[in-house]
Each structure stands twice: as structure tokens, then as C-alpha cells.
Amino acid sequence: MKNTCSTRLFEVDCVKAFAVIYMVCIHVYEQLSIYDHANVMPDSPFRIAIEFAGGPLAAPVFMFCMGMGMVYTRHNKPADFYKRGIKLLLTGYALNFFRQTLLQLIGLLLGIESDLDIIGGLLNVDILIFAGMSFLFIGLMKQIRVKVLIMYIIAILLQAISIWAVNFNIGSMALQCIAGLLLPTGKWVAFPLGLWLVYPVSGMLFAEILRTVSSRSDMYKKVMPVSAAFLVAYSSIIIYSGHDIRCFFALCKDNYYHQSLLSTLWIIPIIIAAICVSYFLVSSFEQTLIGRCIRYCSINLNRIYIIQWLLIAYSVAAITVTGAGKISSPLIVILAGVLFWAATVIINAIYMMISAKIKVLRMRSFNGFYSNGKYKVGMSGTLWVYDMKDNLLGRFTETPYSYVGAFVPEKDIFVSHTNEAHLVVYDIANMKMLKKIKTCNCDGSEDTGVIISRDGKHLYCIQAHWNDWLKRRLVVYDTENFEIEKEYFSNESIINLKEIEIEEDGICYVLFGERNEESGVIESYFVGIFQDGKIVEKRKLDLKRDNWMDILMYFSWKRSGFTKKTFPLFLKEAGIKYAIPENPCSLKSLFETGHMEY
């Protein structure tokens, strides 16, 4: 069977995007309406609908899809999961501080009394903290090589054991919240790992099956009626046995947060059915504006979650201070939820625009910066990889002193020439280092870049001689296996190569110096045409007009991708402000005019 899920699944993005709207609406309902959801079971069509949509179709959907993402992610090493988990934990606690603890402290300064516990608010176990704990736990399971099916069994057992902790009474609020990372120990614990882990692990199990099928459509056609039939039959049994099915999603008495095997068996088929329905009803919108909006909400889920909570929390604070009344109309609750969602999306878009500008400025501070239209690579010793939206995809730390490189045309292959005398080949799409080639025995001597031919078949690299860093040779590699095809100037003691460029017409220009045969000192500098293994034409540079070191600094800056960090000193001293040149000087123009044009 082949893997049909190597990219994002639009149906998953779709259920997450709708879950975002349901989530905002349920939070508005909880925080800003007059309904006593904490003590009274949903007793109207509106309350049943909003608590159902904001229950099974919100947090469990996020968790299930998070589990699916754990299977498809390229960052699937235990260390990646630990790092992600710690980041989510810190983000969750930071959100607790800014949406609640800070407001409580301000309230105390203003003399406003509150029955809320400051420690409980700060250590509140919400969904971001649960997500962090999930990544840490599953990272540990991956570290000890536990299979997904075994994880699922562990999650079911944990849920069965953890539900009994509802009756525990821990006096200390701090200890209550710390224990709440695993167990349902009190009112400040919404999503303990023990009760909710089953959802991300179920998502992992579903994804493990889905990625092996040859057709998602065929699988969904089989799964959807089975899920629907199971849901109907199971619901009938639950109702017939005397259980109130509203307890599976009602906020009253924390029924929804106290997940058990009974509620999990009811909610999971709803999630699977929602994914299947999304695939058949909404997949045609994937390439439209609606599709882009859906994907936007899915990709920016965490940030949207944070922003909407801050907006709602500070709205509650404003109502408390002003004495304004809460919402009583179901229609206004829904409209307010949609408005909060829209405001959240707009604020996130503004944040992304500002962040993108900052990222561009920061990226241009790399020693080297390159793009092939699909990926961006920044080089500062470490090699950093970004997508075209400036999202960090990963980094390579195995090859330090990487400052210059080039993409192979029409491929996601990147080649760097390190200062420790290695030519390193990377598969950027799959984040793998393919090959590491030693170029000479003189570590620290390699300061030249690499040039790829216009047809992408050959790589040209100026390298030091094996045992003499003062001498330079031109080595040509094929770009299939990166084996040496030809080598020029290997026995040359007069010509000292510095730069090479290939124009669109295929003509190759080189910048070089010529040594005095007796003293070995470079006395003259030239730009020439390299053809058939030799320099066929050359033009001597007028150093009275252009300083040789200035020329080298300019082309080194060009080779770096015109980064701000490598902006030449002589241009700064001339009062020229940093900017990427619209018409950069080339070796061809230097050959034709004999001088630099900035």
C-alpha cells in the first residue's frame, strides 16, 4: 500500500476550522451570557445545540486531529515531541497569567473583590497545557518504541483509572493543579492527561490506518456509514439503559470534562463521521477563497485560541468594572461569538503581517540567504530552513561553519560549501543530509560559494588545493550523484581564482588574480571568460578606480544573497544605506566595462 497522505489533509483542516468557530461561541456562552451552565443541564434547543457544538465538535476534534498530525509530521523524533510539549506548556501557563492572574492582580489593586483563586487561575490545566503533556507523554512512548495500538490500550486504562480521582480531595490548590496535569482533581482542572489522552491517541491510530490506504475516498465511504450506525445503536442503548446522553457533552457539574469510556465511545464516531462528511461536502472548495480561509484557521489554531481567550477575558473584566449586563438572547450569543471569531482572525492577520516583516529583516541578517520559490534557507553556521511563509521547518546542526550555498534548479536540493572544507548536499523537502564531501585538507580555508549551471546538471566550486590553501582550483561536480566530473587549474601556481558566475547564455565568467612567478605575490587582477577548461579572454581591472578588496567584498555580498549582515563596509563608509540592489553588478558587466557599477 502507498502513503496517500504526504501533505495536509483538507478534510482535517475543515473540521478544525469549524471547531474554532464552535470554540469561540461556547466560550462567549460560558463567560458572557446569563445562562447557568455550571449548575443547570441544557434544557432548550439552543443550549443543547451550543453545548454539543462546543463540546464533542470542539476540544475532542482538536485533540483527535493533533494525534493525526503527530503521525504525519516530519518532526517526529522524541526530542521534537519533547520540545513541542515544553513550548505548549509554557504557552499555556503564560496564557493563564495574562487572561486571568494579571486581571486578578489589577482587580486587587483597584479594590475589586473576586472569589476566584489566584493560584488556581495561574495553574489552570487548560487545553494548551493538556496538549503539552500529550506531546511529552507520546514523545516518551516513541522513545521506548511503544506502538500506537499499545498507546491506545494504555490511554483507555488511564481513563478508566483516572475517572475515580474525581472523588479525591487535595487541600493545597497548587498541589491540586500539579496533580491535575494527570488526574481530575478539582475545578481548575479541565483537561487532565489521564481522561483526555485517548483522543490524540485515537487520532494517531486512525491516521496510521489512513496513511496505508490507496484511496481516502474509498475508506471514508466505508467508515462513514459504520460510524453513523454505531453512533445510532450506541445512543439507543445508552438512552434505553436510563442514562442521560446530555451528560456526554453538558457543562453542568463538569460532566463534559469528566470523560469516561462511555462518553469517549460516543464522541469518537462523531469526530470520524465529521471528517468523512467534510471530505465529501467541502473538498471541492480546497482551491477557492473559502478553502484558503479554512486552511488559515486550521494552521493558526493555537494563536487564534490565545487571542480569543484574551479578548473574552478582558471583555469580562470590562463588564465587571462597568457593571454592564450579560447577554440573555440566544441570537446575540451566537452573533457575539461570530464577532469575536472575526476579530480574532483579523488581529491574527495583523500580527502575521507585522511578524512577516520582522522575520524578513531578521532573515536578511544571516550570513547567507537563499530561496528556490518553495523553501528559504538561512545560513549562520547552522543551516535554517523555512517555508515561503517564513515558518521555520527545521535546521541542520551537523555541519557547522555553513555560510554560503545554492539551490539546484528545479529541485529541492541545496548545496553548501563550509569553511571547514566540506561540500554538503541537503534534501530540503525531506530535511535530510544526503552527502558530505571533503574538499581539501586545509580546514578554515574555504570561503567561496558554489555555482550551479543554468540547466542544473553541473556544480562549479572554487576550492583550495589539497595541501595549499593559497592556491585555488575549479572543481566541477554532477548534480545527480555529486561526483567530480572535471578539475581545472590543479597544477596552476599563477592564477588565483576568486569568483565565478554563469550567465543565462551559458558563458562563464571568472574573477582572478595573477601571481608574480618569482615572488608569488598577486600583482594583477582580471575578469575573464572561462571556456573549454581555460581562460580564453581576460580584462585587467583598473585598481585606481576600484579597490580590489572592495570588488571581492561586493561579490562576496552577492554570493551571500545580499544579506544585511554581509553588507560591504566600503558601501557603508560611502553613505549608502543597506538595500538589495535592483540591478546588481555582475562579472559580465565588470568584464564589459572594466569597472564596478553600484
Tell me how crowded residue 418 is: count the other CB atoms within 10 A of its CB: 23
Identify the top-confidence range among 301-315, 440-454, 496-510, 528-542.
301-315
Task: Say which residue the cell 553548501 belongs to.
Answer: 416
Interatomic CA distance for residues 510 and 476, integer angstroms:
14
Task: Say which residue the cell 481567550 belongs to.
Answer: 309
Interatomic CA distance for residues 25 and 32, integer angstroms:
10
Tell me how crowded residue 136 is: count the other CB atoms within 10 A of its CB: 21
Q: What is the DSSP string of 172-188?
A: -HHHHHHHTTTS--STT
At 568, give phi and psi (nearest 5°): -60, 140
pLDDT at residue 467 tops 80: no
In the predicted model, what is the mean pLDDT of the chain? 89
At residue 443, the pLDDT reads: 55
Of residues 594 and 415, which shows the higher confidence score?
Answer: 415
- Whether the CB-CB separation of 104 and 116 falls below 8 Å is answered with yes
Weakest mean pLDDT among 273-277, 355-359, 398-402, 482-486: 355-359
- Whether the CB-CB separation of 509 and 529 falls below 8 Å is answered with yes
pLDDT at residue 508 tops 90: yes
Beta bridge partners of residue 451, listed in sequence order: 460
Interatomic CA distance for residues 70 and 64, integer angstroms:
10
Q: What is the DSSP string of 453-481?
A: -TTSSEEEEEEEETTEEEEEEEEEEETTT
Q: What mean pLDDT comes out for the span 277-284?
A: 92
Distance spanning both ends of the chain, measured CA to CA = 57
Confidence bin at 4 (pLDDT 50/70/90): very low
| pLDDT tens readout for residues 17-72 | 999 999 999 999 999 999 999 999 999 999 999 999 999 999 999 999 999 999 98
Interatomic CA distance for residues 270 and 64, integer angstroms:
11
| pLDDT tens readout for residues 417-440 | 888 888 999 999 988 999 998 887
Burial label, 199 (beta-carbon count in 10 A; 0-12, 13-18, 19+): buried
pLDDT at residue 7 tops 70: no
Interatomic CA distance for residues 377 and 370, integer angstroms:
5
Amino acid at 29: Y
pLDDT at residue 130 tops 50: yes
Task: Say which residue the cell 536540493 belongs to.
Answer: 413
At residue 446, the pLDDT reads: 53
Amino acid at 491: N
Q: What is the C-alpha radius of gyration for the chain, rounded to an integer number of angstroms?
A: 31
- Whether the CB-CB separation of 512 and 505 falls below 8 Å is answered with no
Weakest mean pLDDT among 56-65, 195-204, 552-561: 552-561
Q: What mean pLDDT comes out for the span 484-493?
A: 87
pLDDT at residue 444 tops 60: no
Q: What is the DSSP string of 492-540?
A: -SSEEEEEEEE-TTS-EEEEEEEE-TTT--EEEEEEEEEETTEEEEEEE
pLDDT at residue 127 tops 90: yes
Weakest mean pLDDT among 224-233, 309-318, 575-584: 575-584
H or E segment to which residue 11 belongs: helix 10-32
Domains of the chain: 10-360 (no CATH), 364-593 (2.130.10.10)
At residue 570, the pLDDT reads: 82
Weakest mean pLDDT among 103-117, 238-252, 337-351, 409-423: 103-117
Beta bridge partners of residue 427, listed in sequence order: 413, 432
Confidence bin at 3 (pLDDT 50/70/90): very low
Beta bridge partners of residue 461, listed in sequence order: 450, 475
| pLDDT tens readout for residues 356-414 | 777 666 666 788 999 999 999 998 888 989 888 778 888 888 777 888 899 999 899 99
Identify the top-confidence range among 232-246, 429-443, 534-548.
232-246
Interatomic CA distance for residues 81 and 288, integer angstroms:
33
| pLDDT tens readout for residues 288-304 | 889 989 999 998 999 99
Torsion angle of the four alpha carbons 358, 362, 363, 365, in this order, in degrees rounded to the nearest 10: 150
At 198, give phi and psi (nearest 5°): -60, -30
SS3 396: strand
SS3 380: strand
